[in-house]
Structure 1
Amino acid sequence: MSDVATTVWGSIQGREITFPMEVAEMNAATLLFSVPAAAAARLLPGDDFEVVEVAPGTAQLVVALCDYVRNPWGDYDEVNLGFLARPAGAPAEVVGSFVYRMPVNQEFTCEAGNRVMGFPKTVEDIDVTYAADAVRVALATAEGPQLAITLPRADPLGPAQGVEAASYSYLDGVPHATALRMDMGTGVVDPAAVVVELGEGTIADELRSLGLPTTPDLATWGEGLTATFQAGQPLG
């Protein structure tokens, strides 16, 4: 834990919520996909944020598959589906992310994420399976299997790289930004070695509307990563 002042948000289910919230250990894959900007915009709720176009008519889907090993909010798994985005009308240099779906497999982090950060967490079935040289993350809902991604457990090329970012959300209907610092794994995965499978249901249909399954533009893997989340702040 870093030696910084903490702010107490309150408590949930008898557990105190403080910031900064520091994740001591996690394994994570990050995958980037070029997708149609118009299709991405249809999945972005409200009108306070806009999709960033990385090329004319092209947005970037960010898929983060996280296995939180040591985290104040519990040992759980999470699938993040979002886009590079910015507050509507912000300058071009302002780039963060908006996660439009954030399934988890633990009740506490779902309630905390919803109430404290406005993150769209839902409790679903997430299975993370490790082999010696690969990892598979499978997401299912009440509708059935939705998404499964298999990728190599690439060896790191060097120390994890800390990335400062802003994650946008709506908290009680108010647009917010959560500042965070998250390690990016330096295990570079051959995109052609990533296997994306879609099932049948709402999430799978949303991903099909973006052109998946397809090969990602970039994929990374890291183990023993860390992250720090600050308390979210209202925008404007």
Structure 2
Amino acid sequence: MARHLIQGRDVAMPVRVRDATICTAAYLVRADAARAVIAYSGMDIAEVLPGRTVCSLAFVDYVDGDLDTYHEFGVAFMVRPPGSGPVSPKGPIRNLAELRRSGTGVFVHWLPVDQGFTLEAGRTIWGFPKELAAIDLRLSSPYKRCIVRKDDRLVIDLLVRPGVPVTAAGATFALDAYSHLDGVTRHIPWTASPRGIRVRPGGALVRLGNHPVARELSELGLPKRAVMTATCSRTAMSFGEAKEL
């Protein structure tokens, strides 16, 4: 079993999260603009419609896990697996079954957190682009809200309205996550077992600040209507050992 020493603590792999609350909003954005944003990584965007890809915004309250309790915000893009060759002449991905067969994954572009231990663990173990920020989560009301500030500047204020319940009792989803840090791109095996899922079309309100990440999101076309929002009241996750690509 792989192990990592982080701030004098032994962290065994896989790292497990026993309970977390997750809220996400997915947006269709221009694929060429998204490619420009993540060009540093060497990854390629996956088009789900001609010239369009998915940009996901997520905020997470980690309640119980191996990396302690903390808050997190993420900006991620849907990407094609490395080494998948030229874009298929059949064109973009057309449905969920084809998406799963394609091996399409999630590239984590920005991942602020509010605690130092998870910051060092995330960067050291997986190469996640974690950095410290002020993250204000408001999850006790019917509307779920996250306000992120970095260097005393507003980055984003995201409001998510929960939708209708979706049954996924006992389901575990395997995901391919990708990161890039210090010139190295990595693949991270990631599983999630969500409970208390609610989904709806639209359902998000975004206010952007004047931080460089906010300007990136603005160049992608935000604020705009979300394709879909989802909330998960309780989620268990595990993160495996990263592999350099």
Verify same fold: TM over 0.5. yes
In structure 2, the residue matched to 1:194 is: 204
Deviations 1:130-170 (A, max 9, x none): 24312111101115111011122446332454321111123
CA distance in 2, matches of 1:157, 1:98: 26
Q: Hey, what's the Cα distance between the residues in 2 that align with 1:202 and 1:76? A: 24
Name 2:116's counterpart in structure 1.
Answer: 107
2:44 is the counterpart of 1:50: yes
Identity %, equivalent residues: 28
What RMSD, in angstroms, separates the aligned Cα atoms of the two structures? 1.8
Q: Quote the residue 2:94 is aligned against.
A: none
Aligned residues between the structures? 228
Q: Does 1:149 align with 2:158?
A: yes
1:158 is matched with which residue: 154, 167, 171? Answer: 167
Aligned amino acid, residue 99 of structure 1:
V
1:47 is displaced (CA, Å) by 5.1
Q: How does 1:1-236 map to 2 (within 5 A)?
A: 7-46=1-40, 48-90=42-84, 93-154=102-163, 156-159=165-168, 161-170=171-180, 172-184=182-194, 186-191=197-202, 193-235=203-245
Separation in 1 of the partners of 2:182 and 2:3?
A: 15
Unaligned runs of 5+ in 2: 89-101
Which residue type is aligned with residue 136 of structure 2? D
CA-CA distance at 1:173 after TM superposition: 2.9
Letter of the 2:108 counterpart = V
TM-score (norm: length of structure 2): 0.86
SS of 1:90's equivalent in the other structure is coil
The question of whether the paired residues in 2 share the 8 Å contact of 1:48 and 1:87 is answered with no
Are the equivalent residues in 1 in contact too, given 2:168–2:194 (CA < 8 A)? no
Query: Which consecutive residues of structure 1, in runs of 5 or more, have no partner in the other structure?
Result: 1-6
Moved more, 215-224 or 89-98: 89-98
Distance 2:243 2:123 in 1: 15
